[in-house]
A and B are shown apart, each in its own frame.
Chain A
Amino acid sequence: MADAALYADADRRFARKRVIAIAIPAAILAYLVYVFLAFDISGLASRARWDNGAILLSDTWSHKVHVTRDNRAGSVSVAIEGEKKGTYPEGTAPDWVALDGETTVIELGDGHIVRFLPDNALSYEVPGFGLIRARIDGGEVVTNLDPDRLPDWISLSGTRLQITTDAGRVSLTRNRTEAFNYFPGWELFFFTLTSPYHGHTLTDILFGPRIDPERGNIAGAWHDFWNNQMWAHGQVAWAIFETILMAFLGTFGAALISLPLAFVAAKNFTPLGPLRFALRRVFDFLRGVDGLIWTILLSRAFGPGPLTGSLAILLTDTGSFGKMFSEALENVDNKQIEGVASTGARVAHRYRFGVIPQVTPVLLSQVLYFFESNTRSATIIGAITGGGIGLLLTQAMITQKDWEEVTYYIVLVVLMVMAMDSLSGWLRRKLIKGD
């Protein structure tokens, strides 16, 4: 009989396990289906702008040079990324552009040749397709193309012609004629065109003759690099520093504030129940309000900047640390405190030699762990409150064209967080294990 009951019990348990083994994946699947519908993922494909993605991807590793003719004034300018700061001085151009009076000849490479002709006309030799001619006549685009049989890389309307090939892009409107040529790499990353060091190699600068008679090579090159107008290396470095500063001040400020408070909130150190309860609710409140609301609230009082970000982190983390520290304090071993007390030590000494050595490793490792994670939070908070690398990142994204800068910032942010991760790990090992 006992055996039968045992078997029945085992069977029941197996049956239950089997149901659970089916039910949990089924529940997860059902939830994912619900989310699929709630997030309208099927409609996402139609809303997505894959062309934006393509621009983004090509922009991250390459740059384009604009050759632009103002169709009213007739002047031609060559500018890297079309930016004022990257414009070649008037009358000069890279060697693939030939400025010759009224005509400009642009070699896009692979036999693609674009000519800006007089009277707002242009011609484009596309190998394997033929010669495309177009001009502006009375505000309208007139071409030799058959509008009914256009290949998909040409878009033509009454006022605009755009040709996109592997070699580059050409567009013609009433106001301007433009050709874009693409090159790999981040142009002007080190020096802008205004710097005499542009185009020189590192060995030239380090060991070659003086390039700018006014300044020494290394000092001058460093100055021009640091103050590079397009990439603003100095500003970026400062922004990274500001982000780390926010995390540092927020984390360690919160740790300093919550340490004494945690003693008050710990059961074994504060016999006063109501006080303990009140403080715990304060911690819960600080944590519950969350960094987002603190950031909004504080930026109204202090304005945008790193201080606001630090204080937002400080307030949220005071809540977290207060809770964690008081829990750690409640778990201390009383024997050490008694041992210290048995030597006749006073309260302060009991805490100093009985409690602090026990909890320091735990608290320190939590604080350092938070420091690393707060570098990431500081990036996000910076984007909202306007400080540090988070601000630069959002600004560069809003323009929707400087994706090479966005890539640069992303790489820097990832490196920064990884560096802080290693630093906090190293400090943890150094301070806690003492090796």
Chain B
Amino acid sequence: MAHPTTHHHDSYFDLVRRKRLYGGVMLVIFVLLLASGFRLADARNAGGFWDGLPKVFDFPADVVRDTAPKLDQLPGHMLHFLPSLIETINIAATATLIGALLAIVLSLLSTRGLARWPRLIGLFRRMMDIMRAVPEIVIALVLIFVLGGGPVPAMIAIAFHTVGALGKLFSEVNENADLKPVEGLASVGSRWGQQMWLGVVPQVLPNWFSYALLRFEINVRASAILGFVGAGGIGYELKNAMSWGQGRFDEAAAIFILLFGSIVLFDQLSSHVRNGLAHKGGH
């Protein structure tokens, strides 16, 4: 106890040094992993990174070269592909709508304090975990085999995943809901459905809506990608347009513009609406 300050001083710097060492080692390992990962991916790729780098702009250049002389046809192409764009957006919207409705039910059933059957909370949570873990493409491809190509397999596949993804977020929102209205409603003898509808939903609806909107934006992208593997919509048209090959990329250009435009539009729209909700004060 002769020099308590020096002692504390030393042990503090020891701690700092150790922390720095650990942090440094972690960082080095991480960077090494990243570097070796890139080299491995490079080696496994059909074309190498450094060979491909100068060619990155070849394809955009081809597309521009094919489109430039036929610029007058571009609006016509865009009009031609508008119905498939609408189909893609419809797939995303329906999937989000149905997914969100099911997610509401599942999330309420798996929130402590609100659940209809508290013993089954674990079961419903696992259900959502599994639904969230299934990539859309898996269900879409299986359903395409059974139901044939078209928007319905994609819609079901995206809705399935949406239930899991939104259900988790919704139940996190539900956990922050005030239980007093629920208790009040329970005390006057209301049923579970009424307690949820009148006691919980008004509190959490803005937050649910905000998450659902974000999901819709993600689902538009997913729906375009699924089209590319055969599930209808603009993705399918893009795949066809790509297969025309060099010299005929003008249709692909129209689709690129449509897709980019709609993704940016929904991105901006959803962030605008969500900001509005946040500034109004959430719930």
Residues of A within 8 A of B (CB): 28, 31-32, 35, 38-41, 44, 47-50, 52-53, 56, 242, 245-246, 248-249, 252-253, 256, 284, 287-293, 296-298, 300-308, 310, 376, 379-380, 383-384, 386-387, 390, 393-394, 397, 400, 406, 410, 413-414, 417-418, 421
Q: List 21 A-B contacts (CB under 8 A).
A: A35-B93, A38-B87, A44-B147, A49-B148, A245-B40, A249-B38, A249-B41, A253-B34, A287-B267, A292-B259, A297-B56, A301-B59, A306-B45, A307-B41, A307-B45, A308-B45, A384-B229, A386-B46, A387-B44, A390-B137, A417-B134
Q: Does B44 contact A39, Cβ atoms closer than 8 Å?
A: no
Residues of A within 8 A of B151 (CB): 38-39
Q: Does A302 contact B145, Cβ atoms closer than 8 Å?
A: no
Residues of B within 8 A of A400 (CB): 145
Q: Does A380 contact B135, Cβ atoms closer than 8 Å?
A: yes
Nearest chain B CB to A30 CB, angstrom units: 12
| Interface: B276 (CB within 8 A) | no
Residue of A nearest to B42 (CB): A307
Nearest chain A CB to B160 CB, angstrom units: 12
Known contacts A298-B56, A413-B135, A421-B129; decide if A397 and B141 are in contact (CB<8 Å).
Answer: yes
Within 8 Å by CB of A301, from B58, B97, B142, lies B58
| Interface: B37 (CB within 8 A) | yes
Residues of B within 8 A of A28 (CB): 97
Nearest chain A CB to B31 CB, angstrom units: 9
Main secondary structure of the interface of B (DSSP, over half): helix
Residue of A nearest to B37 (CB): A249
Q: Within residues 29 to 74 of chain B, which ones have a CB less than 8 A from any CB in chain A?
A: 30, 33-34, 37-38, 40-42, 44-49, 52-53, 55-56, 58-60
Q: Does B130 contact A414, Cβ atoms closer than 8 Å?
A: yes
Residues of A within 8 A of B48 (CB): 302
* Supplied contacts A28-B97, A50-B146, A56-B145, 10 more A-B pairs, CB within 8 Å: A31-B97, A48-B146, A288-B264, A301-B47, A302-B47, A308-B45, A397-B145, A400-B145, A413-B138, A417-B135
Residues of A within 8 A of B56 (CB): 297-298, 301
Number of residues from B at the complex interface, CB < 8 A: 59
Q: Does A379 contact B41, Cβ atoms closer than 8 Å?
A: no
| Interface: B90 (CB within 8 A) | yes
Q: Does A307 contact B44, Cβ atoms closer than 8 Å?
A: yes
Q: Does A379 contact B256, Cβ atoms closer than 8 Å?
A: no
| Interface: B152 (CB within 8 A) | yes
Within 8 Å by CB of A38, from B47, B90, B137, B259, lies B90
| Interface: B242 (CB within 8 A) | yes
Q: Does B55 contact A301, Cβ atoms closer than 8 Å?
A: yes
Distance of A50 Cα from B59 Cα, bound (Å): 42
Within 8 Å by CB of A52, from B133, B136, B145, lies B145
Within 8 Å by CB of B53, from A48, A293, A301, lies A301
Distance of A39 Cα from B58 Cα, bound (Å): 38
Residues of A within 8 A of B242 (CB): 296
Known contacts A292-B235, A301-B56; decide if A376 and B135 are in contact (CB<8 Å).
Answer: yes
Binds A, one of B3-11, B176-184, B188-196, B220-228: B220-228
Nearest chain B CB to A299 CB, angstrom units: 9
Q: Does A242 contact B37, Cβ atoms closer than 8 Å?
A: no
Residues of A within 8 A of B97 (CB): 28, 31-32
Q: Does B53 contact A303, Cβ atoms closer than 8 Å?
A: no
Residues of B within 8 A of A38 (CB): 87, 90, 151
Nearest chain B CB to A404 CB, angstrom units: 13
Known contacts A297-B59, A393-B138; decide if A39 and B146 are in contact (CB<8 Å).
Answer: no
Residue of A nearest to B221 (CB): A290
Known contacts A292-B235, A301-B58; decide if A32 and B94 are in contact (CB<8 Å).
Answer: yes
Residue of A nearest to B87 (CB): A38
Residues of B within 8 A of A410 (CB): 134, 138, 142
Residues of A within 8 A of B148 (CB): 44, 47-49
Nearest chain B CB to A27 CB, angstrom units: 11
Distance of A414 Cα from B141 Cα, bound (Å): 15
Q: Does A293 contact B52, Cβ atoms closer than 8 Å?
A: no
Q: Does A306 contact B41, Cβ atoms closer than 8 Å?
A: yes
Q: Does B228 contact A384, Cβ atoms closer than 8 Å?
A: yes
Residues of A within 8 A of B33 (CB): 248
Residues of B within 8 A of A48 (CB): 146-148
Known contacts A50-B146, A290-B263, A305-B46; decide if A300 and B59 are in contact (CB<8 Å).
Answer: yes
| Interface: B121 (CB within 8 A) | no
Residue of B nearest to A57 (CB): B146
Distance of A287 Cα from B221 Cα, bound (Å): 10
Q: Does A31 contact B93, Cβ atoms closer than 8 Å?
A: yes
Distance of A393 Cα from B145 Cα, bound (Å): 13
Residues of A within 8 A of B59 (CB): 296-297, 300-301
Nearest chain A CB to B184 CB, angstrom units: 19
Within 8 Å by CB of B137, from A53, A288, A379, A417, lies A379
Distance of A303 Cα from B46 Cα, bound (Å): 5
Nearest chain B CB to A329 CB, angstrom units: 17
Q: Does B146 contact A302, Cβ atoms closer than 8 Å?
A: no
Distance of A245 Cα from B47 Cα, bound (Å): 17
Q: Does A305 contact B44, Cβ atoms closer than 8 Å?
A: yes
Q: Does A297 contact B60, Cβ atoms closer than 8 Å?
A: yes
B238-280: contact bitstring with A at CB < 8 Å (1 yes, 0 no)?
A: 1000100000000000001001100110010000000000000
Q: Does B34 contact A284, Cβ atoms closer than 8 Å?
A: no
Residue of A nearest to B134 (CB): A414
Q: Within residues 77 to 97 of chain B, which ones have a CB less than 8 A from any CB in chain A?
A: 87, 90, 93-94, 97
Residues of B within 8 A of A413 (CB): 133-135, 138
